[in-house]
Amino acid sequence: MTQHTPLHEHAFGDDRPFASCHASTLVELASGETLVAYFAGTHEKNPDVGIWHSRRTPAGWEPPRKVADFGGIAHWNPALFQAPDGRLWLF
């Protein structure tokens, strides 16, 4: 019997610009890169929460970047989808 070890790596380190994150979603882009989006901030319902993303390129993970901030309005959990035409959707 062959046993496989799951591959895992961290998309960001302890120097991340938020205290907490969860509800991740990821997609492999047509380029072969990986994009992950997640809900992040100090804590649930804090005004600083938003949707962030990180991209894994051949050089490694890029720093996290906030891509949606609606000023205190609930963001819910993100979902990524890449359409057959290459268009990337974040819901």
CA neighbor of 57 nearest in space, from 38, 88, 34, 36: 34
Instruction: Tell me the C-alpha distance between 64 and 67, whole Å.
Output: 9
User: Does 28 map to a domain?
Assistant: yes
For 64-79, write each residue's pLDDT tens digit.
999 998 877 777 899 9
User: Does 12 map to a domain?
Assistant: no
The pTM for the full model equals: 0.84
Give the chain's domain count: 1
Owning domain of residue 57: 20-85
User: Does 44 map to a domain?
Assistant: yes
For 22-56, write each residue's pLDDT tens digit.
899 999 998 999 999 999 998 888 888 999 999 99
